[in-house]
Chains A and B, each alone.
Chain A
Amino acid sequence: GAVVSQHPSRVICKSGTSVKIECRSLDFQATTMFWYRQFPKKSLMLMATSNEGSKATYEQGVEKDKFLINHASLTLSTLTVTSAHPEDSSFYICSARANPDSASEAFFGQGTRLTVV
């Protein structure tokens, strides 16, 4: 089946630094990818929709200058958490679909556990 690869799986960074997370679709082209954030025992919350070749669409309440998204190719989207603070510590996960049909399966990256100290 289709595979989405996310890297790194775990990162610990100092407060004030920036962290880049990569999401790659390995065997299909994804014009749209999604970035989610998940707190313990909570649902995945959509942060933004990453569109290849254009600006990302951010959900209400998500700071676009804080969470920079770049979707430079059909197989790669990146999320950069800028000037990270301890409250940004969370599980970040990306997703993509191999075809635009809403009934199609969404494939998820392995997730990135970010800890800001």
Chain B
Amino acid sequence: RKEVEQDPGPFNVPEGATVAFNCTYSNSASQSFFWYRQDCRKEPKLLMSVYSSGNEDGRFTAQLNRASQYISLLIRDSKLSDSATYLCVVSPGDYKLSFGAGTTVTVRA
């Protein structure tokens, strides 16, 4: 079983729509959770950390469900510039990070 699994998508949505997707992780001892964004042929960049109580950053909302071992990301009022691959990233508590394969989102005009 993969450490982090994501629906690869693609999610094709019109501008202004809301899109949401999840990822699941296998290590119940995982301590830190992140969403990274990766544009085509570029390096990943941190979108937001995910906290136990859930957190919001502008149009982006992240939720963590430790009992079910999944993390979600919701994008409201999507923009063309939100088109990217979103990587779910989990850390067991040391330096290492485990990456999902990414969920591709395409926002169309």
| Total B residues in contact with A, Cβ cutoff 8 Å | 26
- The residue that A44 contacts in the complex, of B31, B42, B44, B49, with Cβ under 8 A, is B44
Stretch at the interface among A62-70, A71-79, A80-88, A108-116: A108-116
> A25 an interface residue at 8 Å Cβ cutoff?
no
Docked Cα-Cα span, A45 to B96, in Å, equals: 11
Residues of A contacting B: mostly: strand
From B8, B42, B91, contact of A102 by CB (8 A) = B91
Given A32-B95, A97-B95, A102-B32, answer yes or no on A41-B8 (Cβ-Cβ < 8 Å): yes
Are A109 and B96 in touch, CB under 8 angstroms? Answer: no
A117 to chain B, nearest CB (A): 19
Question: In whole angstroms, how far apart are the Cα atoms of A113 and B34 in the complex?
Answer: 25
Asked whether A44 lies within 8 Å of B99 as measured between CB atoms, the reply is: yes
Which B residues have a C-beta under 8 Å from some C-beta of A?
4, 8, 31-32, 34, 41-46, 49, 87, 89, 91-102
